[in-house]
Amino acid sequence: MSAPLLEARGVGRRYGDYVALQGVTLEVQPGETVAIVGPNGAGKTTLVNVLTGLLRPSEGQVRFRGADIAGIGPVRLARWGMARAFQLVQVFPELTVAETIAVGALAQMGRGRRMLTSLGADHQLQELVRETAVAFGLENALHRPARELSQGQKKLLDVASAFALRPAVILLDEPTSGVATADKHGIMRTLMEAARLAGVQALLLVEHDIDLVETYASRVVGLRGGQMLADLPVRDFFADAEVTAALVGRRPAKAH
């Protein structure tokens, strides 16, 4: 087995007396799509914030490509090759699709002060924006304000802004939330194909829709009460009725 891209060793996170995470150990290998699941309050958001350098763990280590990334912050981490969607559409609804993708790329490059003035003059950035839009099926909407997009397109644009720098690892935090059930698989197929085209080596997926987890994940990490109860290949996870019931409730019938 190759060296892990991302690893957590004995990670814990406390807020005063409250223990949000305790003893979490996991690895993410090239080629994996790892889903993080669990009930509300399980510690998923805290784990994601620790893994992306937004929070420093109270104990344990977090390493990306062998380097300690504890608390370095998501912008600096993105320059190293791990990105997280910014949900920029909610923050800047008046920006065009092209501008939104460019803002994501420039922020991760550490060029935030030159944001939109860079787009018109920087031909390399223009090509990066165009290629990213094509990968997400947004090339015909480049000059439309983001607020005019459908909910599904807005979700794709949120993720596109993180894909713009072609990261090695990307974290998707409920990428289909708020989207009609009928559209969710289309969005996920687009995301997975865009990741392949961009050369993304591994994906982390926080997702409540268990049908999507079963369809697109290769491995499932399950949290409950801040502790890791499962780390299994997706088939083994859903074959274990006790684990499935504890972490995601009743398993739904597949329908697609």
State whether residue 139 is helix, strand or coil.
helix
Q: Is the model's pLDDT at 256 over the cut of 50?
A: no
Q: Which residues contact 232 (CB under 8 A, 6 or more apart)?
A: 219, 220, 222, 240, 243
Q: What is the mean pLDDT of residues 48-67?
A: 93
pLDDT digits (tens, 9 = 90+) for 32-45: 999 999 998 899 99
In the 8-state DSSP scheme, what is residue 242?
H
State the pLDDT at residue 250.
59
pLDDT digits (tens, 9 = 90+) for 138-166: 999 999 999 999 989 998 998 998 888 78
Q: What is the mean pLDDT of residues 108-132?
A: 70
Q: In 10 A of CB 111, how many CB atoms? A: 14
Q: In 10 A of CB 99, how many CB atoms? A: 20
- SS3 readout for 18-76: EEEEEEEEEEECCCCEEEEECCCCCCHHHHHHHHCCCCCCCEEEEEECCEECCCCCHHH
User: What is the rounded distance in angstroms from the CA atom of residue 199 to the CA atom of residue 183?
Assistant: 25
Q: Is the model's pLDDT at 73 over the cut of 50?
A: yes
The residues facing 24 across adjacent strands are: 11
Its sign, for the CA torsion 21, 27, 30, 32, is: negative
Q: What CA–CA distances, in Å, run from 97 to 128, 133, 161, 175? A: 13, 8, 9, 17
User: What is the share, in percent, of the chain residues with pLDDT greater than 90?
Assistant: 58
State the pLDDT at residue 108.
63
Q: What is the mean pLDDT of residues 63-72?
A: 93
State the pLDDT at residue 119.
59
Q: What is the mean pLDDT of residues 208-235?
A: 95
Q: What is the mean pLDDT of residues 85-103?
A: 84
**Structural domains present in the chain:** 1-81+167-256 (3.40.50.300), 85-166 (no CATH)
In the 8-state DSSP scheme, what is residue 196?
H
State the pLDDT at residue 59.
96
Q: Is the model's pLDDT at 118 over the cut of 60?
A: no
CB-CB contact of 204 with 191 (8 Å): no
User: What is the share, in percent, of the chain residues with pLDDT greater than 70?
Assistant: 91
Q: What CA–CA distances, in Å, run from 51 to 2, 13, 75, 109, 199? A: 20, 12, 13, 20, 21
